[in-house]
């Protein structure tokens, strides 16, 4: 069996756009006629440039190869151009293609991917969701209202979710870590207080920051949140200096979580070695794919650390996350996004049931991609999947961080 053809679909989820401006799907076909699907997460170059990178990685390292040779294909891409080091763009391209290889292998053997990477450790996967506005909520008020956030959290708990995530702590800025405004600390405390009051002990609170703070600033904020017992303090400092995560972890009595902007075992292992995180959050469309992230899980197990696969993308990456989650012993929880478009894209093949995702039973990723639907929503802009603002933290008028989402008109 050989990989012989590649197609790339850049699809744009309709309003409100939860999951990013676009999703980069890859469709890989073998000489035996088997098709595999993958997804490349959040590239740092525009979609047309990323398409060129994906094609280069496929044609240079994978075309004509046996999809079983996942380790060899990884080493080719990882070492490309005399690098042998983590490269977000190249590994993002490879990750989606590697996921497609596993989809092919599962279909060829008529087995779910989880059965090929360790078997069924977990019959169902605990899921969490970001707090998104309910139909009666207005924007941008939702992003700065503890009361509305509490309503959203209560609604998720009623659906069976046992953890909810939110990040009201200020701007998502290119300027690196900053000190939080006192108003941002007060808002964060108010959110925790309102949500904890609404859900009681029925759900964990997951506090996100998107790497916004300096080390000292993250510690100030974390100390203020400790009374509410969050399950994690997510990416409290920028990911470009792993040593600083360890400083925060030592100073704050909340488990530190991070990983959506990291790639390969090289970065995750370094983080674990310094005691920088108790929870790793790889996004499989960037972290090196399924096999590389399975290695990350094994390394984390030796450090008594958990995995919580991250999702701010489409339902193909979600499917890969779920298969990994089913197969590992140190799973904590997995992120999900429930929108009509996420569901329709895979024809409802994987779903959240009472706060958990049952292990998929279909061959490969266990999904049936609606290719026509994906192609009917092409991305026609030139912006990136996610973007950061240039303006600094506003210490006078307050800040609104709109949930990390490029919200469209509802």
Q: Across 45-116, where does the E strand assignment appear?
A: none
With bands split at pLDDT 50, 70 and 90, how would you rate the model's confidence at 23? very high
Q: Helices (DSSP H) in 200-235: which residue ranges?
A: 215-225
Tokens (6 digits) for 109? 């053997």
Give per-residue pLDDT as tens, 265-312: 999 999 999 999 999 999 999 999 999 999 999 999 999 999 999 999
CA distance 246 to 382: 37
Q: Which residue has the tokens 């969490």?
A: 128
pLDDT at 276: 97
Task: Quote the CA–CA distance of 57 and 51 in Å, as a whole number.
Answer: 10
The reported pLDDT for the residue numbered 78 is 97
CATH architecture type of domain 115-364: Alpha-Beta Barrel (3.20)
Instruction: Read off the pLDDT of residues 334-378 as tens digits, 9 standing for 90 and up.
Output: 999 999 999 999 999 999 999 999 999 999 999 999 999 999 999
Q: Are 61 and 69 in contact (CB under 8 A)?
A: no
Q: What is the pLDDT of residues 105-143, one digit of tens each?
A: 999 999 999 999 999 999 999 999 999 999 999 988 999
3-state helix, strand, coil in the chain (%, to 5): 40, 15, 45
**Coil, strand or helix at 235:** coil
Specify the pTM.
0.96
pLDDT of residue 363: 98
Cβ-in-10-Å burial (0-12, 13-18, 19+) of 139 comes to middle
Sign for the pseudo-dihedral over CA of 99, 101, 107, 112: negative
pLDDT of residue 170: 82
Domain ranges of the chain: 115-364
Q: How many helices (H) and strands (E) does the chain have?
A: 13, 12
Phi and psi angles of residue 256, each rounded to the nearest 5 degrees, phi first: -85, 135
What average pLDDT does the segment 203-229 reach?
Answer: 97
């Amino acid at each position: 069996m050989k990989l012989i053809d590649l197609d790339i679909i850049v699809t744009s989820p309709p309003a409100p756009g939860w999951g990013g401006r676009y999703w980069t799907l890859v469709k890989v076909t073998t000489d035996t006629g088997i098709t595999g699907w993958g997804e490349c997460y959040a590239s740092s170059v525009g979609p047309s440039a990323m398409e060129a990178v994906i094609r280069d990685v496929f044609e240079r390292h994978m075309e004509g190869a046996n999809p079983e040779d996942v380790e060899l294909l990884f080493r080719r891409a990882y070492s490309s151009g005399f690098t042998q080091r983590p490269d977000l763009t190249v590994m993002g391209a490879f990750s989606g293609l590697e996921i497609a290889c596993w989809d092919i292998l599962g279909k060829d053997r008529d087995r779910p991917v989880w059965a090929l990477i360790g078997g069924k450790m977990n019959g169902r996967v605990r899921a969490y969701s970001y707090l998104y506005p309910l139909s009666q909520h207005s924007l941008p008020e939702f992003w700065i209202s503890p009361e509305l956030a509490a309503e959203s959290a209560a609604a998720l708990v009623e659906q069976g979710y046992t953890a909810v995530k939110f990040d009201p702590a200020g701007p998502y800025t290119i300027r690196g870590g900053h000190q939080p405004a006192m108003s941002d600390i007060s808002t964060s405390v108010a959110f925790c207080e309102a949500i904890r009051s609404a859900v009681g002990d029925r759900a964990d609170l997951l506090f996100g920051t998107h790497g916004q703070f300096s080390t000292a600033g993250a510690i100030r904020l974390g100390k203020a949140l400790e009374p509410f017992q969050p399950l994690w303090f997510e990416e409290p400092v920028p990911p470009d200096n792993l040593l600083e995560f360890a400083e925060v972890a030592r100073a704050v009595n909340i488990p530190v979580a991070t990983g959506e902007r990291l790639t390969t075992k090289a970065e995750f292992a370094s983080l674990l070695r310094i005691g920088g995180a108790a929870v790793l959050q790889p996004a499989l469309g960037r972290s090196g794919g399924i096999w590389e992230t399975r290695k990350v899980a094994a390394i984390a197990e030796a450090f008594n650390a958990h995995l919580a696969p991250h999702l701010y993308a489409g339902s193909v990456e979600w499917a890969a996350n779920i298969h990994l989650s089913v197969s590992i012993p140190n799973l904590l929880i997995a992120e999900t996004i429930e929108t009509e478009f996420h569901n329709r894209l895979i024809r409802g093949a994987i779903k959240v049931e009472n706060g958990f995702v049952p292990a998929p039973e279909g061959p490969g990723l266990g999904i049936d991609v609606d290719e026509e639907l994906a192609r009917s929503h092409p991305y026609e802009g030139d912006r990136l999947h996610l973007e950061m603002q240039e303006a600094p933290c506003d210490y006078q008028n307050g800040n609104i961080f709109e949930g990390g989402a490029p919200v469209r008109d509802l």
